[in-house]
Amino acid sequence: MNASVHTGPKDLPDSDQAPVFAEPWEAQAFALVLRLSEQGLFRWSEWTAALAAQISQAKESGDQDLGDTYYHYWLAALEKLLLEKSVLDSKAVRSRVEQWRRAYLNTPHGQPIELSAGREPADT
């Protein structure tokens, strides 16, 4: 990749500033998008278009944007972009969502949710 071509966001906050993420998963989602773009899976302009479309769709459907849904849009945009590029298929996405749902339900309150807690029991 040509080092003179800017492919990602600029002016990221300095480490001494207040956190920009409300939850760790938001930072992970942000880093994932950056990494996939850096690896050439999609251009940054494709990403920003996908995110803008997701936000626009949410507004059109009546989402009140209280400031706590931005990274939900981020994930939805990433999922859609990866589906469009055939990196994911919808069956795999549905399966993983269900696994996370089971993991959430199988995790005691106050404990970190581990994806392994959502595995289906083995047939015996």
Q: Do 50 and 108 fall within a single domain? A: no
Q: Do 59 and 115 fall within a single domain? A: no
Q: Is residue 7 part of a domain?
A: no
pLDDT tens digits, 40-86: 999 999 999 999 999 999 999 998 878 788 999 999 999 999 999 99
Tokens encoding 83: 């589906």
Cβ contact 21:27 at 8 Å? yes
Distance in angstroms (rounded) separating the CA atoms of residues 52 and 77: 8
Q: Is residue 3 part of a domain?
A: no
Q: Do 79 and 96 fall within a single domain? A: no
Its domain, for residue 26, covers 22-88
- The whole-number pLDDT of residue 12 equals 55
Q: Do 77 and 52 fall within a single domain? A: yes
Q: Do 74 and 99 fall within a single domain? A: no
Task: Give residue for tokens 């939805």.
Answer: 76
Q: Please choose, from the candidates 58, 74, 76, the residue with its C-alpha nearest in 3D space to the C-alpha of residue 20.
A: 74
Counting the structural domains of the chain, the total is 2
Give 115's DSSP letter.
Answer: G
Query: What is the sign, positive or negative, of the torsion defined by CA atoms of 108, 26, 37, 42?
Result: positive
pLDDT tens digits, 8-23: 555 555 556 666 888 8
Cβ contact 99:115 at 8 Å? yes
Tokens encoding 104: 């959430």
